[in-house]
Structure 1
Amino acid sequence: MQQPTPRSTPHPHPLRRVPVQQRSAARLARILDACAELLEETGYEDLSTRAVAHRAEVPIGSVYRFFPNKRAIAAALARRNLDAYAARITARLTTPEAPLVWRHAMDVVVDEYLAMKRTVPGFGLVEFTVPAPRESRQANYEVADRLLGLLAARLGLDAADERLRTAFLVGVETADALLQLAFRTDPAGDPAIVAETKELLRAYLARYLDGAAPDG
């Protein structure tokens, strides 16, 4: 009997208080933007709540109202990155007049990750999890489940199918490792390694997704 793929351990919400007013939400956004900018400039080790407050032009008490420490700020930024990543993929694939081509969808998954890696401040250090210590790549379980959830309905798949969940997790882990290699080889992402990553994903997932929806 196939064993279920373990889900990532649920993490407590990084926010001490969820903003309900537009003014508070805007302040939280400034705090996360400031965190991202400082990560880009100084790295995680030199990040501090005081520096974030100064960059965001908010009182230090406003930072502590939302977060107990810098790790929680980074965790909230990682969650925002994952939400943004899912939204970017959804926007690229939302074409009601045409059936979803899963091979194209896999290219979009890789391309949107690359775009964020190249353009989003702080993403190089905080992708979908805090950078130090690395949480045994637990974020990849959430990324895999989020991607499967985005594609399942349009491909006629069962998002709770453990075999599919395992396949998407393997795909995410593999792509993660190869794309990290691409950026170690070339600061912009080595195009040959990126191309091989896409080819590998298509070949691996074909055994699970061919026939799931009209393809080209």
Structure 2
Amino acid sequence: MQIVNREKNADPLNPRKEPSRKRSINRVQRILDVVVGLLEKNGVEAITTNMIAAEASIPIGSLYQYFPNKHAVLNAVGQRHLERINSMLSEIFQSDLTGKSWEDLVDLVIDSFANFYLTEPGFAPLWSSMKQDFKLQENNLKISENVSTILSQFNVNLAENRIISKIIVEVTDAILNLWIREQNNHRIKDHFKILSDSILPRRTKLP
């Protein structure tokens, strides 16, 4: 089992151990599942390492073997969310986009993110706290890179493509946070689609 550097300059948001054995991997996944449940019930601020250990039915020392603090656990949950978002975007990228317009594709991305907000446990409360966590903010940059890959099919200028992708991800994130607070008012999402069609450049359909 690989041990990550524990020196003072080690990143406090990184796991202490990278589990390699099946039992250790399962334990870490169990910890992350517990944190997801606590996020849904209590929100980010209320969670403590003692609460996580108690809910996971493990000694606090066992938790600290893998994560140095609460923020490292939350970051790991955020990374798992990121992997699932990237998988979602890959499915869009690999789907048949023949005849799809620029507006169709943007609407598809918005709908996919909206569905993820609603169905992925722990995502909404954790992402809502992202502005206070620089490490989690980095995830939006990674997501925008994947959106950029999808939009590259429209032969958009590379620099313009990157800017548009960042706009889509950041604005979608902000609007969907409002959407969640307004109890999933679909008019908000629908008006956002109209707004996105008006502010983003027009493109032809894919061949």
Specify the TM-score bucket, using the shorter chain as the normaliser: 0.7 to 0.9
RMSD over aligned Cα, in angstroms? Answer: 2.9
2:186 is the counterpart of 1:191: yes
Name the counterpart of 2:163.
166
Per the TM alignment, residue 13 of structure 1 is displaced from its structure 2 partner at its CA by 6.3
Name the counterpart of 1:43.
43
Name the counterpart of 2:8.
none
TM-score (ref. length: structure 1): 0.75
In 2: Cα distance, 1:211 partner to 1:134 partner? 38
Instruction: Work out the percentage of aligned pairs sharing the same amino acid.
Output: 28
Per the TM alignment, residue 31 of structure 1 is displaced from its structure 2 partner at its CA by 0.8
Contact 1:35 1:74 in 2 (8 A): yes
| Structure 1 pair 166–20 and aligned structure 2 pair: CA distance change class (3 A) | same
In 2: Cα distance, 1:157 partner to 1:15 partner? 40
In 2: Cα distance, 1:13 partner to 1:152 partner? 32
Aligned counterpart in structure 1 of residue 206 of structure 2, from 201, 207, 213? 213
2:92 is the counterpart of 1:99: no
| Structure 1 pair 138–66 and aligned structure 2 pair: CA distance change class (3 A) | same
Name the counterpart of 1:73.
73
| Structure 1 pair 28–130 and aligned structure 2 pair: CA distance change class (3 A) | farther
Question: Counterpart amino acid of 1:78?
Answer: G
In 1: Cα distance, 2:27 partner to 2:161 partner? 40
| Structure 1 pair 107–56 and aligned structure 2 pair: CA distance change class (3 A) | farther
| Structure 1 pair 142–93 and aligned structure 2 pair: CA distance change class (3 A) | closer
TM-score (ref. length: structure 2): 0.78
In 2: Cα distance, 1:158 partner to 1:17 partner? 42
Structure 2 gaps, min length 5:
1-10
Name the counterpart of 1:200.
195
For 1:84-163, list aligned pairs within 5 A: 84-95=84-95, 99=98, 101=100, 102-127=102-127, 131=130, 133-135=132-134, 137-149=137-149, 151-152=150-151, 155=153, 157=155, 161-163=158-160
Contact 1:14 1:72 in 2 (8 A): yes
2:23 is the counterpart of 1:23: yes
Question: Counterpart amino acid of 1:111?
Answer: D
Question: Counterpart amino acid of 2:71?
Answer: R
Contact 1:19 1:25 in 2 (8 A): yes
Structure 1 gaps, min length 5:
1-10
| Structure 1 pair 193–69 and aligned structure 2 pair: CA distance change class (3 A) | same
DSSP 3-state at the match of 1:47: coil
Per the TM alignment, residue 48 of structure 1 is displaced from its structure 2 partner at its CA by 1.2
DSSP 3-state at the match of 1:124: helix
In 1: Cα distance, 2:179 partner to 2:195 partner? 14
Q: Size of the alignment, in residue pairs?
A: 195
| Structure 1 pair 31–191 and aligned structure 2 pair: CA distance change class (3 A) | same
Contact 1:93 1:105 in 2 (8 A): no
Per the TM alignment, residue 192 of structure 1 is displaced from its structure 2 partner at its CA by 1.0
In 2: Cα distance, 1:49 partner to 1:132 partner? 21
Name the counterpart of 2:55.
55
Q: Which moved more, 1:131-140 or 1:87-96?
A: 131-140
In 2: Cα distance, 1:62 partner to 1:162 partner? 47
Per the TM alignment, residue 61 of structure 1 is displaced from its structure 2 partner at its CA by 2.7
Contact 1:85 1:112 in 2 (8 A): no
